[in-house]
């Protein structure tokens, strides 16, 4: 039963994260920002949440594994989208938006690492 509970936790969290990613993309595309900022936004948010969860879970080892899996592998995995980031970067290079692509890649890496670090710090503060 424990394995089934873990699978269901990842499934539920992943579905929720994916829906939030979709809604974020729809909102930002409808405001003329395009898909790249939406991907950057959800990747930074997911990095912060994952960092926060990691920092918090270190201090709270008694939290059930299903809760940890729901948030980390499920929700953050469904919310963040590295494959979309990779494709968007490639498409920018293909359309001669080289500077935009380099800035996007640099911002994505830097902001996601900073967000994860901030999340770990915040999670340990609780």
Find all residues with CB under 8 Å of 115, minimum gap 6, and list them. 44, 45, 47, 48, 51
Q: Tokens for 96, please give them.
A: 């001669």
Q: Which pLDDT tens digits describe the chain residue by residue (126 residues)?
A: 579 999 999 999 999 999 999 999 888 878 877 777 888 999 999 999 999 999 999 888 899 999 999 999 999 999 998 888 998 999 999 999 999 999 999 999 999 999 999 999 999 998
Residue 120 · residue 54 · CB < 8 Å: yes
Number of Cβ within 10 Å of residue 20's Cβ equals 16
Residue 36 · residue 105 · CB < 8 Å: no
Predicted TM-score (pTM) of the model is 0.86
For residue 95, the number of C-alpha atoms closer than 13 Å in the C-beta half-sphere is 9
């Amino acid at each position: 039963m424990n394995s089934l509970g873990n699978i269901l936790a990842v499934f539920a969290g992943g579905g929720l994260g994916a829906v939030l990613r979709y809604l974020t993309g729809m909102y930002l595309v409808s405001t003329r920002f395009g898909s790249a900022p939406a991907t950057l936004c959800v990747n930074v948010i997911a990095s912060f949440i994952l960092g926060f969860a990691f920092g918090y879970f270190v201090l709270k080892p008694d939290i059930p594994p299903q809760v940890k899996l729901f948030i980390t592998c499920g929700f953050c995995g469904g919310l963040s989208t590295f494959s979309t980031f990779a494709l968007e970067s490639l498409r920018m290079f293909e359309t001669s938006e080289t500077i935009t692509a380099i800035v996007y890649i640099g911002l994505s890496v830097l902001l996601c690492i900073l967000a994860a670090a901030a999340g770990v710090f915040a999670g340990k503060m609780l």
